[in-house]
């Protein structure tokens, strides 16, 4: 698996230090609020698991999973909920937990969906942001790292469902996805 990685972009130590900082900030900002942490499956589960164990508050977790119709999913932007929240978020403080904001489409539609349920507040914590690829406005209130326009894997992020268990964020060698008929640009969850 390591031989498929061109470069370690963010080390395990760097990630853990950043997760500590984000959790401290969130613990201060949500004092006495009992937020609902909403993880976006599958990519965000590792980040959510680390983050929640450092948050010093009562909090609830829940998950959503998204899919999209059609092949050119990113540009059509037609999203479908594969797994909805179990929690009624009306009047709750919702904190969406994302692995990476890329085009911004996932976050845009998720925010629309959650806001329609009349929460007390909605904010976003994202481990990574790739602003160069944005197609629609989307912004994290709490952000780990900005990354360049490269396909990254590890710490929950996959290529073709592999590499999620790497403890760091790495850049995949282009020859790994070349010739597999599925350029990362067209991948969704």
Compute the distance between CA of residue 160 and CA of residue 164 in angstroms, rounded to an integer.
10
Which residue in the list 56, 58, 99, 102 is annotated as catalytic?
Answer: 102
Instruction: Give me the least distance between CB of 128 and ligand IMP, in Å please.
Output: 8
Q: Candidates 35, 39, 104, 170: give the one binding ligand IMP (CB under 6 A).
A: 104
Between helix 45-54 and helix 12-29 the angle, nearest 10°, is: 60
Compute the distance between CA of residue 40 and CA of residue 7 in angstroms, rounded to an integer.
26
Compute the distance between CA of residue 103 and CA of residue 53 in angstroms, rounded to an integer.
29
189 touches ligand IMP by CB under 6 A: yes
102 touches ligand IMP by CB under 6 A: yes
Pairing of strands 5-10, 169-172: antiparallel
In the bound complex, which residue of the shown chain has the CB atom lying closest to Mg ion?
A: 43
64 touches ligand IMP by CB under 6 A: no
102 binds, options ligand IMP, Mg ion, none, Cβ within 5 to 8 A by partner type? ligand IMP
Compute the distance between CA of residue 107 and CA of residue 59 in angstroms, rounded to an integer.
21
Q: Compose the 109-148 pattern: x for residues touching ligand IMP by CB under 6 A, - for all others.
A: ----------------------------------------
């Amino acid at each position: 698996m390591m031989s498929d990685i061109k470069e370690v972009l963010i080390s395990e130590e760097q990630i853990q230090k950043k997760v500590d900082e984000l959790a401290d900030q969130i613990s201060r900002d949500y004092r006495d609020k009992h937020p609902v942490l909403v993880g976006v499956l599958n990519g965000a589960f590792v980040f959510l698991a680390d983050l929640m164990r450092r948050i010093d508050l009562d909090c609830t977790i829940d998950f959503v999973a998204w899919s999209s119709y059609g092949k050119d999913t990113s540009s059509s932007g037609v999203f479908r909920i594969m797994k909805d929240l179990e929690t009624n978020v009306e009047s709750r403080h919702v904190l969406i937990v994302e692995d990476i904001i890329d085009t911004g489409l996932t976050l845009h539609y998720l925010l629309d969906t959650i806001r329609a349920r009349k929460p007390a507040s909605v904010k976003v914590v994202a481990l990574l942001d790739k602003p160069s690829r944005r197609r629609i406005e989307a912004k994290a209130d709490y952000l780990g790292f900005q990354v360049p326009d490269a396909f990254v894997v590890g710490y929950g992020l996959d290529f073709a469902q592999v590499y999620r268990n790497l403890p760091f964020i790495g850049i995949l060698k282009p020859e790994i996805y070349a010739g597999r008929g599925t350029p990362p640009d067209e991948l969704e969850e």
